Amino acid sequence: MTASDGGGEARRDDVTPSQALAFARYAEALDLSHAADIARTRALADLGHAALHDARRDGVRGMASDMELRSVAAEAAGMARLTDRRLQGEIDHAMTVIDDYPAVFEAWVQRRIERGHVDVVVRVGAGLPNEVRDSFAEAAIGVCERDVPSRVRGALDALAARLHPQTFTERHKTAAAERCVRVFHGTDGMSNLVANLPTVIAAGMLDRLTQMGQSVKDARTAGAGAAAGADAAGAGESADTRTMDQLRADILGDLVLGGAPVVDPTYGTDRAGGLGAIRARVQVAVTAETLMGRDKNPAEAVGAGLVDADTVRQLAGQVSEWDRLFIDPVTRTPVEIDTYRPTASMKKLLMARDQHCRFPGCRRAAIRCELDHTIDYALGGHTHIFNLAHLCQRHHSMKQFTKWEVRQVGGGVLEWTSPLGRIYREDVPIPAVCFTIDTADPPPDAAPGGPPPGEAAPF
**pLDDT of 60 strictly over 60:** no
pLDDT tens digit string along 180-219?
999 988 888 899 999 998 887 888 888 888 888 888 887 7
36 and 137 share one domain: yes
Give me the chain's average pLDDT, please.
79
135 and 64 share one domain: yes
Helix axes 102-109, 17-56, angle to 10 degrees: 150
CA dist 301 and 262 (Å) reads 30
pLDDT of 305 reads: 63
CB contact at 8 A, 363 and 29:
no
174 and 206 share one domain: no
Rounded average pLDDT over 248-257: 89
**pLDDT of 229 strictly over 80:** no
Top pLDDT among 433 and 157 is at 157
44 and 150 share one domain: yes
413 and 442 share one domain: no
pTM, entire model: 0.61
Which residues are registered as beta bridge partners of 454?
none
Residue 239 sits at φ, ψ, to 5 deg, of: -65, 155
In a domain, 229, yes or no: no
195 and 120 share one domain: no
**pLDDT of 323 strictly over 60:** no
In a domain, 373, yes or no: yes
N-term to C-term CA, the chain? 66
349 and 418 share one domain: yes
39 and 57 share one domain: yes
CA dist 111 and 115 (Å) reads 9
In a domain, 339, yes or no: no
Q: How far is CA 147 from CA 33, 118, 136, 153, 159, in A?
A: 20, 13, 17, 10, 15
pLDDT tens digit string along 82-135?
999 999 999 999 999 999 999 999 999 999 999 999 999 999 999 899 999 999
Pairing of strands 10-12, 2-4: antiparallel
pLDDT tens digit string along 292-316?
788 877 777 765 567 777 877 877 7
CA dist 359 and 374 (Å) reads 12
pLDDT of 10 reads: 40
- Tell which phi-psi region holds residue 307, choosing left (phi > 0), alpha (psi between -120 and 50) or beta: beta
In a domain, 114, yes or no: yes
358 and 391 share one domain: yes
CA dist 292 and 441 (Å) reads 12
Within a 10 A sphere around the Cβ of 290, how many other Cβ atoms? Answer: 23
Within a 10 A sphere around the Cβ of 394, how many other Cβ atoms? Answer: 20
Q: How confident is the model at residue 416 (pLDDT cuts 50, 70, 90)?
A: very high
Q: Alpha-carbon torsion 104, 108, 114, 116, what sign?
A: positive
In a domain, 269, yes or no: no
47 and 156 share one domain: yes
CA dist 404 and 395 (Å) reads 10
Q: How far is CA 108 from CA 118, 121, 145, in A?
A: 7, 12, 10
Within a 10 A sphere around the Cβ of 387, how many other Cβ atoms? Answer: 19
In a domain, 236, yes or no: no
DSSP-derived letter for residue 366 is G
Could you tell me the CATH number of the domain that includes residue 377?
1.10.30
CA dist 319 and 80 (Å) reads 44
In a domain, 233, yes or no: no
CA 306 to chain centre: 15
pLDDT of 228 reads: 55
23 and 158 share one domain: yes
Domain region containing 249 = 179-221+241-258
Which residues are registered as beta bridge partners of 373?
388
319 and 364 share one domain: no
Structural domain total, the chain = 4
In a domain, 227, yes or no: no
CA dist 456 and 458 (Å) reads 7
